[in-house]
Amino acid sequence: MLNYFRPKTIKECLECITDDRVYIAGGTDLLVEMRNGHDLSKKTLIDLSHIPELKGVKKIDGGLEIMACTSHDDLVLNKDVNKSLKVLSDACRTVGSPQIRNMGTIGGSIGTASPASDPMPALMLADGSAVIINKKGEIREEKLEKFVVKPGITTLKNDELILSVKVKSLEDYKQSFFKIGRRKALAIARLNFAMAILKNKDNTIKDIKIVVGAALPVTKRFYDIEKQLIGKKLTEKIIEKISKDISDQVLEIAGPRKSSEYKIPVIKNIISRMLKDMEV
Amino acid sequence: MTVNFKVNNKKVEIKDLDNLSLLKILREHLSLKGAKCGCKTGDCGTCSVIIDGELVRSCLVLGKNLEGKSIKTIEYYKDEKIRELQETFTRSGAIQCGFCTPGMIMAAYSILEKNPKPTKKEIREGLKYNLCRCTGYEKIVDAIYDASGQVNTKKHIIASVFKGNIGTSKPVQAALEKAEGKFEYTDDLVFNNLYHGKILFAPSAHGYITKMNIEEAKKIEGVLDIVTCMDQEYWSKDFNCHITSPFEKLVRNEKMFNRHFRYDGDKIAAVVAISEEIAQKAVKAIEYEFKTYPVILDVKKAMKDDSYPIQKDNNIAARNIGYEIGNVEDAYKDCDILFEKEYHTQKQSHGMMEPHIAVANYDGEILTLYAPTQNVFGFRSLMTEIFDLPYNKVRVIKTNIGGAFGAKSEVVVEHIASLLAIRVKGTVKVNLSRKEEFLCGKTRTAIDFNVKFGVKNGKFKSMGIDAVLDRGGYYGSTIDLCYAWMDKVYKLYECENIKTNTIAIYTNTQNSGAVRGYGAPQVNFARETAINDYCRDQGLDKIQFRLDNLFEQGSKDIATKETMTSVYVKDCLTRAYEMIEEKRNKWEDENYYYGLGVAVGVHGNGIGLPVADFASSSIKYCADGSVIVNTTVHDMGQGSTIMIKKIVAEVLGIDDDLVTVLNPDTNSNYYSNGAYATRETWVNGNSVKAAADELIKVIINETAEIHEKNIEDLIYLDGKIATKAGDLVATAAEVVLHRMHKPPFKEIEATVHFTNPQVPGSYMANIVISKVDKKTGEVKVEKLIAVHDVGRAINPMMLEGQIEGGIHMGLGFAISEEVKYDKKTGKLETINFKKYKMFRANDMPEIHIEIVNKPDSVGPLGAKGVGEAALTAVAPAVIDSINEAIGSNFNKIPVLQKDIQEFLGL
Amino acid sequence: MKLMLNMTINNEKISVEIEPDSRLLDVLRDDLGLLGTKEGCGVGECGACTVIIDGKTANSCVTLAASMEGCDIKTIEYLSKNGKLHPMQKSFIDNSALQCGFCTPGFVLSGVNLLERNPNPTEEEIKEGISGNICRCTGYEQIVKAVEDVRDEKYIKDGACDE
């Protein structure tokens, strides 16, 4: 028989955790899975929607801590997010539809480890890390790159719960998010990208961050390419080279598919365009 | 409190049971709607189920006592025995309206569990807790006997067979669904956001509401609205529940709620609420004061005493209705012998298993009424009149009927449901309890007759029958009933001088309406009993006297002078007498007096002029050779759908499975009057036959055009069109397909508007042997022979079923069913099946039925109707058998055990 | 395991016994008889099942009923509760913003919620606001116009919506 718990505090929640636990926050993914035959009848369903501690955005040193059950809509509207990590609110604005954004949570976006997650590139751009608590109350922090192992799989153990995501403030950076879906609303990202750039006064790159999601099984930050760019100017030649390098890497990681013929040149063009736009 | 039990081998857990009955749990919580609610008091057995091997009536079992029990219901398809019974019931014609069927099958299951090879008598004994009003139990007993694997030697009526459609037997439409409990009656239907209406009935039989206070009732949580007789709103305007067309200028003296109430079934207010329980609670919370008027139950008193008139000025609804052919008084002077005597018939309740129910929806524009009605167009007309809505804003849809017998041809709750739906702009159900059904349902008109006739040379010379009708409180169908009973006087015995006269009286009794027979069983009782009395007085042979006087083929209707299309009543009587072994009028043994009773009778077919009696029909040929018939027949288990299918199939030469007949719906169907006056076979049958004939013409025309042939050279035969030389030109399906996919693009259909040309008689003879217990005065009808002249049999099994059901109703009319009143208060006493005694399976006699297998010249393929004829001559034959047995002279019905005890001095 | 769920629906406090895995949509339709809310896809893509939960729209087909404990829910039935139509409903009728009508309750609620949250949306914002709802009949033009007419106060609130 399905067990259902609706804890009101994190402490209560930890007490409910069992090996067969399934979390529900907004439900926008879980209910679709249930409809598709995901059998919960012998599971313990823990409802996270009534824990106030898990909601909201806190300022922390050098960045923000976004509590796991904060909805996408809240992140679209949140002043601190808009100030420190505009790219995240832009990304959240593209999630699903108004209805989905109102219910869906950031914790869910991470926890489901969907390759098409829209907030994920933005979070990774800001060196996001998941804050995780276990049944005993022990807390660990893990970079999102490591936390998401492969599509649908994270390092979250059965006795653990995602508390929040910590991100760095990119307030001084120029930020950009780009998504391609089949239509404007209610589109699952086919391709999505996030970038942030910080320049020196001489227009050379002080720091740059590039993330590609959706096209890849797991959202990826291109650290090696970022490093190569530091101290350089974004000339057309360099933009061309970076775009090609990234698209080549994507092809390498994702492997050739039917859609590659379309996706690879598009990836190249979009990265090139995003870099050019930021240069302006 | 939680109770765990098993239903059909599935675990069930029910919480918060309060005082829920098992029936409610099954129907409302588990959606197992096979078990029906016919009375809620355990008297009818429609809710029968099996608990731990025992047959129980689920309306009497409380859910909280079910812990650990195992219940089997009609839905338990995994049980082979249940399945087998469902099949034998279907096959044997044991199903008509089907409302009692699930309960019957569970009873049958229980009988066979305990006794795998029961005798028929044991079967009847086992069925005694289950009532059926349609079948007379005959075919139910047969079905159970079949299921026990024993060989049934019973012979069925023999009919001439044509092409495999006419004259072959077929169960009624949806018989198997009925057997499986899947056939949805109105209370089984699911409506969203359904509200419930309940009615407040008058506190006594005659009086006036002086004050009413609904404030407390209104405060009850969940009450949406209350309407009362005190409101001077549109629902206080006068109408007549019988009126089926604005053309009818009948007296309108009835209101939806009557401040001046004339009987205890009069409605004085109604509540609509979110649940039936809350509505009922609110009905009880309505406070009122009233003054009482003297109660008049007796027509004689009513005629004399109109100090407190029941209607406006006096208690006379109609007087001097009648007509005279020849000169009766003069002719009496010329007679050898004069006979004169009074005869009395009583009220009779329909006793259909499904009480009145209606669901109405009003969406702000259109009123839609879902009701098990016998007359969708009549109901529509009345709703438009009451609510002042145009015809196109009222839609009446016939739902499945659980028995009707005339009850559902007049408005009883349908206008209340409609009013409440309009008031709350939503969907409202009004579902009468059995007690309420007895209270406000109509009854057969009780008639007092004075029969006088003169005989010359052994033949009728002159006859005069006067009648006083007890109509109850309102006018209703008074005038129709007058003509209905009188019509039967002119079409049975040859007699040059006949007159009739009627007075109709208001009393404080249940309102009279249409009940199977509609005047004919009453007048037939009076006339036939008079003839039997006369023959006994004069020492004449009652068979021979009748044979000397009865109509024969070629006789003319005495009133209209029209030649009857077929009259084989003498054949009926002769054959019935042949069939009976005991050729003597009375005998006795140590314990019993025996008597042989005889009666013949006549019933009409269709409504006579001047009332418009017509049926339109349209038949469309589909592109695969199947057909859809648009006409309005109200199937209530009597089998009219199959009848129509068979006629159309016969004419078109196709299998009857290829024929679909539309369910009555005023928005889509062609017009026909309702299912009453034995008119569905005669009028609708003729109407579809004419449409099918026309369709053949159309298809020949089209074929000729497509294939460039002369119309005269083509013939239609069994779905194909050929040249007269015998070469196939095309199939009907090919012609339809061609016309639908190539210019000029059209459908192949034919429509006719058929008017009833005349009202012929369906004739019958009944011979009955009864025995009277010398010690107790108890009457047991031992054997009943029924021979009917109903033209050609279309569906012999269901024809037989109709006759058996009619016999059941006729027997009750004769010796068991009595509508009783408290003499002082005028309150109805017979408000349940315990007190209103209908024949049960073990009360029924041995029945032998035959038909005179001769076609009528005008009837559809030679057929005539049987629905009402079935019971017309039963009661006089039964009473004659009693009078013969004990030497009594009973001139009234019912003759009850107490009457016989009194006569025998027991 | 059954569960008692307490919530406010259309300003009325309601307690209803549910299965813990019931969808809000089913509780509304089957247990509470609020049939205005439609099921078009069952996976949160079409918006026919839109309701307003604590002031924000949601797809009731992907909302766990059990999570609604203490929540304030408004369905299409709320808008015309006193027998009078909400301006948005009137505007939909007047602009022919409905044809088959199956998507209409969801659209009306999206429109109402949009204006509650942003009384003066641009055309783009209106389109974005109703982007969670799919309509196959109208082509959306008249729906956008209907929301614009309410935005422009062509309809004076007549008290049907008592907030």
The DSSP output letter for A256 is -
Residues of C with Cβ-Cβ distance to A97 under 8 angstroms? 44-45, 47, 131-133
| Beta strand pairing call for A174-180 and C56-59 | unpaired
State pLDDT tens for residues A6-60: 999 999 999 999 999 999 999 999 999 998 888 888 899 999 999 999 999 999 9
Residues of C with Cβ-Cβ distance to A6 under 8 angstroms? 66-67, 69
Question: Half-sphere exposure of B404 toward its Cβ, with a 13 Å CA cutoff?
Answer: 28
Same domain flag for C71 and C102: no
Q: What is the CATH code for A174-279?
A: 3.30.390.50
One-letter-per-residue 3-state SS of B431-464: ECCHHHHHHHCCECCEEEEEEEEEEECCEEEEEE
Q: pLDDT at position B609, please?
A: 60
Would the CB atoms of A98 and C59 count as touching at under 8 Å?
A: no
Residues of C with Cβ-Cβ distance to A50 under 8 angstroms? 67, 69-70
In-domain check, residue C156: no
Q: Measured between CB atoms, does A253 come within 8 Å of chain C?
A: no
Same domain flag for C108 and C138: yes
State pLDDT tens for residues B258-268: 999 999 999 99
Strands (E) across B484-622 are located at: 497-505, 586-588, 592-604, 614-621
Query: Which tokens in the block code for residue B687?
Result: 């109407």
> Which one of B389, B407, B440 terminates a domain?
B440
- Rg of chain B on CA atoms, in Å: 28
Token pair 């804890």 in the structure block, residue: A7
Same domain flag for C95 and C147: yes
In-domain check, residue C82: no
How many Å apart are CA B293 and CA B311, to the nearest integer? 12
Same domain flag for C35 and C55: yes
Between the alpha carbon of residue B906 and those of residues A205, B760, B773, B775, B901, the distances in Å are 125, 46, 11, 7, 5
The shortest CB-CB distance from A98 to any of C23, C45, C110 is to C110
How many Å apart are CA A185 and CA A192, to the nearest integer? 14
Residues of A with Cβ-Cβ distance to C3 under 8 angstroms? 4
Residues of C with Cβ-Cβ distance to B193 under 8 angstroms? 33, 35
Reduce the DSSP state of residue B99 to 3 states and report it. coil
Question: Half-sphere exposure of B34 toward its Cβ, with a 13 Å CA cutoff?
Answer: 26
In-domain check, residue C161: no
**For B376-385, what is the mean pLDDT?**
96
Q: What is the CATH code for A56-168?
A: 3.30.465.10
Close Cβ partners of B756 (under 8 Å, ≥ 6 residues apart): B606, B607, B613, B614, B679, B682, B683, B686
Closest CA to B890 of B600, B597, B603: B597
In-domain check, residue B12: no
How many Å apart are CA A122 and CA A101, to the nearest integer? 16
Query: Which tokens in the block code for residue A196?
Result: 């942030």
> Which one of C76, C97, C126 terminates a domain?
C76
Same domain flag for C64 and C120: no
Residue in B with minimal Cα distance to C33: B193
Reduce the DSSP state of residue C17 to 3 states and report it. strand
State pLDDT tens for residues B767-797: 999 999 999 999 999 999 999 999 999 999 9
Question: Could you tell me the residue range of the domain that residue B799 belongs to?
Answer: 446-506+516-605+759-904
Q: Measured between CB atoms, does C33 come within 8 Å of chain B?
A: yes
The DSSP output letter for B680 is I
Query: Which tokens in the block code for residue B865?
Result: 């109707």
Reduce the DSSP state of residue A241 to 3 states and report it. helix
Residue in A with minimal Cα distance to C129: A98
Same domain flag for B376 and B488: no
Reduce the DSSP state of residue A117 to 3 states and report it. coil
When the pLDDT of each residue in chain B is averaged and rounded to a whole number, the result is 95
Same domain flag for C37 and C94: no
How many Å apart are CA B619 and CA B695, to the nearest integer? 7
Q: How many CB atoms lie within 10 A of CB A82?
A: 14
**For B637-665, what is the mean pLDDT?**
96
Token pair 């169908």 in the structure block, residue: B477
Same domain flag for C91 and C143: yes
In the predicted model, residues of chain C with pLDDT beneath 50 are: 158-163
CB pairs under 8 A between B and C: 4
Alpha helices in chain A (DSSP H): 10-16, 30-35, 72-77, 79-84, 86-93, 98-103, 106-111, 119-125, 144-147, 223-229, 236-254, 260-279
The phi and psi torsions of B828 (rounded to 5 degrees) equal -70, 130
> Which one of B755, B771, B801 terminates a domain?
B755
pLDDT above 70 as % of chain B = 100
Same domain flag for B625 and B732: yes
Q: Measured between CB atoms, does C93 come within 8 Å of chain B?
A: no
Measured between CA atoms, how close is C83 to chain A, in angstroms? 28
How many Å apart are CA B678 and CA B605, to the nearest integer? 5
Same domain flag for C70 and C91: no
Same domain flag for B634 and B528: no
Cis amide prior to B894 (ω within 30 degrees): yes
In-domain check, residue C112: yes
How many Å apart are CA B441 and CA B406, to the nearest integer? 10
**For B828-840, what is the mean pLDDT?**
95
Question: Could you tell me the residue range of the domain that residue C30 belongs to?
Answer: 3-76
CB pairs under 8 A between A and C: 94
Q: pLDDT at position C162, please?
A: 41
> Which one of C25, C52, C76 terminates a domain?
C76
Q: Is A37 exposed, middle or buried (0-12, 13-18, 19+ CB in 10 A)?
A: exposed
Q: pLDDT at position B236, please?
A: 86
How many Å apart are CA C36 and CA C32, to the nearest integer? 11
Residue in A with minimal Cα distance to C114: A98
Would the CB atoms of C62 and A31 count as touching at under 8 Å?
A: yes
| Beta strand pairing call for A44-47 and A3-5 | parallel
Amino acid at site B869: A
Q: pLDDT at position B248, please?
A: 84
Token pair 């592109």 in the structure block, residue: B623
In-domain check, residue B266: yes
Query: Which tokens in the block code for residue B693?
Result: 């004939």
Residue in A with minimal Cα distance to C19: A2
Torsion of CA B243, B246, B252, B258, to 10 degrees: 70
How many Å apart are CA B488 and CA B557, to the nearest integer? 10
Residues of A with Cβ-Cβ distance to C63 under 8 angstroms? 27, 31, 103
In-domain check, residue B25: no
B348 within 8 A of B511, measured Cβ to Cβ: no
Q: How many separate domains does chain C show?
A: 2
Q: Is B782 exposed, middle or buried (0-12, 13-18, 19+ CB in 10 A)?
A: middle
Place B18 in a pLDDT band, splitting at 50, 70 and 90: confident
The shortest CB-CB distance from A102 to any of C45, C57, C131 is to C57
State pLDDT tens for residues B696-716: 999 999 999 999 999 999 999
Q: Measured between CB atoms, does A96 come within 8 Å of chain C?
A: yes
How many Å apart are CA B660 and CA B644, to the nearest integer? 9
CATH of the domain at C107: 1.10.150.120
In-domain check, residue B152: no
Q: Measured between CB atoms, does A251 come within 8 Å of chain C?
A: no
Same domain flag for B561 and B543: yes
Query: Which tokens in the block code for residue B265?
Result: 């079934």
CATH of the domain at B728: 3.30.365.10
Name residues 101-120 of chain A within 8 A of C (Cβ).
Answer: 102-103
Query: Which tokens in the block code for residue B309?
Result: 């008139």
Q: pLDDT at position B338, please?
A: 98
Q: How many separate domains does chain B show?
A: 3
How many Å apart are CA A96 and CA A78, to the nearest integer? 18
State pLDDT tens for residues B125-147: 999 999 999 999 999 999 999 99
Q: Which chains touch B (3 or more CB pairs under 8 A)?
A: C
Measured between CA atoms, how close is B630 to chain C, in angstroms? 29
Q: What angle do CA B250, B255, B260 make, to 5 degrees?
A: 115
How many Å apart are CA B448 and CA A28, to the nearest integer? 77
Which of C67, C74, C108, C127 should we substitute to test contact with A (largest number of A Cβ atoms within 10 Å)? C67
Alpha helices in B539-601 (DSSP H): 542-549, 569-579
How many Å apart are CA B669 and CA B663, to the nearest integer? 8
Same domain flag for B785 and B880: yes
Reduce the DSSP state of residue A195 to 3 states and report it. strand
Residues of A with Cβ-Cβ distance to C133 under 8 angstroms? 97
Same domain flag for C91 and C124: yes
Task: State ipTM.
Answer: 0.91
Token pair 């759908």 in the structure block, residue: B641
Residue in C with minimal Cα distance to B194: C33
Which of A22, A54, A99, A182 should we substitute to test contact with C (largest number of C Cβ atoms within 10 Å)? A99
Strands (E) across B65-105 are located at: 70-72
Same domain flag for B665 and B737: yes
A and C interact (at least 3 Cβ pairs within 8 A): yes
Q: Considering Cα of B179, then B180, then B184, then B188, what sign does the dihedral take?
A: positive
For residue B423, pLDDT over 80 is answered with: yes
In-domain check, residue B177: no
The shortest CB-CB distance from C64 to any of A47, A99, A102 is to A47
pLDDT in tens, chain A (280 residues): 789 999 999 999 999 999 999 999 999 999 999 988 888 888 999 999 999 999 999 999 999 999 999 999 999 999 999 999 999 999 999 999 999 999 999 999 999 998 889 999 999 999 999 999 999 999 999 999 999 999 999 999 999 999 999 999 999 999 999 988 777 666 677 788 999 999 999 999 999 999 998 888 889 999 999 999 999 998 999 999 999 999 999 888 888 777 777 788 888 999 999 988 887 6
Would the CB atoms of A185 and C47 count as touching at under 8 Å?
A: no
Residues of B with Cβ-Cβ distance to C32 under 8 angstroms? none
Q: pLDDT at position C163, please?
A: 39
Strands (E) across B214-356 are located at: 223-228, 260-261, 267-273, 287-292, 316-321, 324-325, 337-344
Contacts 24+ apart (CB under 8 A), A78-86: A81/A57, A83/A171, A84/A167, A84/A169, A84/A170, A84/A171, A85/A122, A85/A126, A85/A167, A85/A169, A85/A170, A85/A175, A86/A175
For chain C, the farthest-separated pair of C-alpha atoms sits apart, in whole angstroms, at 50
B492 within 8 A of B456, measured Cβ to Cβ: no
**For B545-562, what is the mean pLDDT?**
96
Token pair 């089907």 in the structure block, residue: B98
Residue in C with minimal Cα distance to B425: C83
Would the CB atoms of C23 and A31 count as touching at under 8 Å?
A: yes
Token pair 């199903």 in the structure block, residue: B95
Residue in C with minimal Cα distance to A2: C1
State pLDDT tens for residues B719-738: 999 999 999 999 999 999 99
Measured between CA atoms, how close is A38 to chain C, in angstroms? 12
Q: How many CB atoms lie within 10 A of CB A185?
A: 20
> Which one of B755, B786, B818 terminates a domain?
B755
In-domain check, residue B318: no
In-domain check, residue C7: yes
> Which one of C24, C50, C76 terminates a domain?
C76
Query: Which tokens in the block code for residue A93?
Result: 């604005």
